[in-house]
């Protein structure tokens, strides 16, 4: 339909979503990005966060673990390492990941080998866990 676009959320493991939508909102690196039908072609980097799309007046929310979004030919393709709708999110696992990340961030700023890179990984893991828990809390979806 003229007032719809196609949304595909793809991970290395599966196609999480392949649907039509009236609009899509994605967590861009520099802030949320809205995409409507017949949007100009673009590629954008995403951060871990919540993707929302509207379909038949209903809004669906989904966690995406960052990655890239390509908009072309009235299709939004999101390539991400992980994507989950609220019902697919294991809250206990996400809470455990959050606790682990917080412990790491509260500890030494260096790894055993003296590299700061683990703090960056811990921060990224923290963001994924927080966003999963937020997505779960928002509920909704199908
Ligand atoms: P964890 O430390 O619990 O593995 P993580 O953030 O490192 O969390 P990811 O690397 O983002 O995990 O994801 C690895 C795989 O596990 C993906 O397929 C993702 O969908 C799945 N996954 C991770 N956490 C959860 C969760 N809380 N609920 C459901 N699936 C999850």
What are the residue boundaries of the structural domains of the chain, listed by start? 5-84, 87-141
Q: Which of 1-5, 23-27, 85-89, 94-98 has the lowest mean pLDDT?
A: 1-5
Span 40-56, average pLDDT: 96
Q: Which fold has domain 87-141?
A: 1.20.5
Ligand 1 atom 30 nearest Cα: 89
Residue 71 tokens, joined? 């908009």
Confidence check: pLDDT of 141 > 50 = no
Closest CA to ligand 1's atom 17: 82
Give residue 38 CA to ligand 1 midpoint distance, Å: 33
Which atom of ligand 1 lies at the shortest distance from residue 128's CA? 6
| Cα–chain center distance at 111 | 28
Q: What value does the mean pLDDT of the chain take?
A: 91
What pLDDT sits at residue 106? 86
Q: Provide the percentage of residues in the chain whose pLDDT is more than 70.
A: 89
Higher pLDDT, 114 or 19: 19
Q: Which residues contact 84 (CB under 8 A, 6 or more apart)?
A: 16, 62, 63, 132, 135
Instruction: For ligand 1, atom 21, name the residue with the nearest CA.
Output: 82
The rounded Å distance from CA 94 to ligand 1 centre is: 8
Ligand 1 site, residue 84, Cβ cutoff 6 A: yes
Paired with 70 in beta bridges are 43, 77
Name the pLDDT band for 142 (thresholds 50, 70, 90).
Answer: very low
Q: What is the pLDDT of residues 63-112, one digit of tens each?
A: 999 999 999 999 999 999 999 999 999 999 999 999 999 988 887 666 66
Calculated CA dihedral for residues 29, 98, 17, 142, nearest 10 degrees: -120
- Is the pLDDT at 140 greater than 80, yes or no? no
Q: Domain 5-84, what fold?
A: ATP Synthase; domain 1 (2.60.15)
Q: For atom 5 of ligand 1, which residue has the closest CA?
A: 125
């Amino acid at each position: 339909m003229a007032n719809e676009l196609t949304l595909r959320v793809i991970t290395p493991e599966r196609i999480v979503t392949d649907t039509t939508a009236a609009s899509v909102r994605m967590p861009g690196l520099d802030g949320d990005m809205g995409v409507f039908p017949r949007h100009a072609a673009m590629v954008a980097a995403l951060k871990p966060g919540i993707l929302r799309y509207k379909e038949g007046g209903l809004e669906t929310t989904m966690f995406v673990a960052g990655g890239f979004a390509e908009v072309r030919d009235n299709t939004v393709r999101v390539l991400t390492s992980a994507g989950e709708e609220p019902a697919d999110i294991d809250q206990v696992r996400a809470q455990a990941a959050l606790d682990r990340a917080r412990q790491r961030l509260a500890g030494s700023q260096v790894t055993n080998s003296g590299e700061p890179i683990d703090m960056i990984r811990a921060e990224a893991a923290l963001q994924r866990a927080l966003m999963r828990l937020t997505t779960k809390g928002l509920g909704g979806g199908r």
